[in-house]
Amino acid sequence: MQFKEIVGQQAVKQQLIRSAREGRVSHAQLFVGPAGNGALPLAIAYAQYLSCEQPGESDSCGVCATCKKYQKLAHPDLHFSYPFIAPKKETVALEYISQWREAILEQPYLTLEKWMDRLDAENKQPNINIAECHSIISKLSLKPFESGFKVLIMWLPEYLREVGNSLLKLIEEPSSSTLFLLVSEQPDLLLPTLRSRTQLVRTERLEEEEVAAYLLEAGLADQQGAAQAAKLCGGNLAAALELAAGETSNFGELFRDWMRICYQNDGVKMVEWTEQVGGKGSGSKSGIGRENQKNLLRYGLSVLRQSLLQQAQLPVQARGEELDFITRFAAQLNPEKIAAISGELEEAIYHIERNANPRILFLDVSLQIARYLKIGGAIVRPGRVVMT
């Protein structure tokens, strides 16, 4: 993978290239950001740049023998580790390497959810187990086969949990020919001892224009579709890819149903709706999926913003059923209630990013919204009073 294949992230790319050219490469680095930022492909491109036989000023050459092997993710000194399902305690990540290569080569903006789909994980919880740690230690104790050093790219080290302790010594006293690149979406869940031994590489949220341009260039959407997906996904390319793939495009209908059910305060329908969106189990593969759950909530936020404009008698960007809904919604609520519901939706996005159980979360949010929608009902949120 080359830097030029990665959307945006100019400042981070420059910083990585500069440190490589100046020979200041830290042996343990922690790339941080959600899947949609591209932290994983960035780490792979960086490893390729460092290993390339003739690196240029802004990218690896792409044609040397090393680059060619890297492009297939099949260089003997490039190792990957990632969360997986271990049917036996001695199962290691290498058993899934062909699925892994296939997944990354197809779409490097990989989400855990997509990865679990590929492993047919259903509701099983993935992790990086102690057998995998031992395998890493023994792999890295060998001398490099071809390049000057060996690289281990570990995706989502937060799934190491406490077994991460077994890697501390290796990260603290590595051989000079070893490079660790950890790629984390939730660095606060990493063992502090592990985090403190790595140098942080923070990725940036993409601009909407960058996401739209990517979708358009890749032929995944037309101009209007690309602009809409980019806007709704708030700069998250992984979410935009799912939107562009049309995996769930009925956000309007889903959201309107939701608000109607909350308004009627119908418990049975509420449970049915939360199961449709959040799934029945607690695993990652359930309902419409996490990226689309976030997309639905973001869609809801945009409808609420439009409702505020409607109340202020400012121009509203909506048509047909959406406009009807916004008109009725705006007529029934005051700005404080709209703000309170928006707050619930924003908080829900935050919790989904932190792997909350979506079914429980959506049910909880539904009950809150039902209270706000009750005519004359007071708005009391735990910990803050929005309106009385």
Q: How many CB atoms lie within 10 A of CB 202?
A: 14
Please identify, using beta-carbon distances, which residue of 42 and 345 lies nearer to Zn ion.
42
Distance CA 129, CA 159 (A): 8
Toward Zn ion, which CB reaches closer, 61 or 220?
Answer: 61
Assigned token pair, 15? 């910083």
The stretch among 50-58, 184-192, 312-320, 378-386 that binds Zn ion (CB under 5 A) is: 50-58
Least Å distance, CB 233 to Zn ion, is: 33
Among 17, 44, 67, 303, binds Zn ion (CB under 5 A): 67
Report how far residue 330's alpha carbon sits from residue 338's, in angstroms, rounded to the nearest whole number: 8
User: Which region among 51-59, 188-196, 316-324, 361-369 touches Zn ion (by CB under 5 A)?
Assistant: 51-59
Nearer to Zn ion, 1 or 171 (CB): 1
H helix runs in 108-199, sequence order: 112-118, 130-140, 168-172, 192-195
**Interacting stretch for Zn ion, rule CB under 5 A, among 36-44, 53-61, 224-232, 288-296?**
53-61
Distance in angstroms (rounded) separating the CA atoms of residues 152 and 133: 12
Stretch that binds Zn ion, among 52-60, 203-211, 223-231, 241-249 (CB under 5 A): 52-60
Smallest distance, Å, CB 147 to Zn ion? 10
Could you say which of 7, 47, 52, 128 contacts Zn ion (CB under 5 A)?
A: 52
Pick the closer one to Zn ion by CB: 53 or 247: 53
CB of 3 to Zn ion, least distance (A): 12
Least distance between Zn ion and beta carbon 64 (Å): 3
Q: Which is nearer to Zn ion, 17 or 226 (CB)?
A: 17
Strand-pairing partners, residue 182, are 30, 154
Decide the pairing of beta strands 178-184 and 150-155: parallel
Q: Does 220 bind Zn ion (CB under 5 A)?
A: no
Least spacing, CB of residue 66 vs Zn ion, in Å: 5
- Which ranges in the chain belong to alpha helices (H)? 10-21, 39-51, 65-71, 97-106, 112-118, 130-140, 168-172, 192-195, 208-217, 223-233, 237-244, 251-264, 267-278, 290-311, 320-332, 335-353, 358-373
What angle is formed at CA 202 by the lines to CA 198 and CA 208, rounded to 5 degrees? 160
Q: How many CB atoms lie within 10 A of CB 176?
A: 8
Q: Least CB distance from residue 45 to Zn ion, whole Å?
A: 12
Q: Does 64 bind Zn ion (CB under 5 A)?
A: yes
Query: Which residue, 60 or 368, has its beta carbon nearer to Zn ion?
Result: 60
Q: Under the criterion CB under 5 A, does residue 60 sit at the interface with Zn ion?
A: yes
Count residues near Zn ion (CB under 5 A).
5
Q: Are 141 and 150 in contact (CB under 8 A)?
A: no
Nearer to Zn ion, 59 or 113 (CB): 59
Total count of residues recorded for the chain: 388
Classify 127 as helix, strand or coil: strand
| Smallest gap from residue 86 Cβ to Zn ion (A) | 35
Quick one: 67 or 212, whose CB is closer to Zn ion?
Answer: 67
Q: How far apart are CA 388 and CA 379, in angstroms?
A: 6
Residue 61 as a binder of Zn ion (CB under 5 A): the answer is yes
Contact footprint for Zn ion (CB under 5 A): 52, 60-61, 64, 67
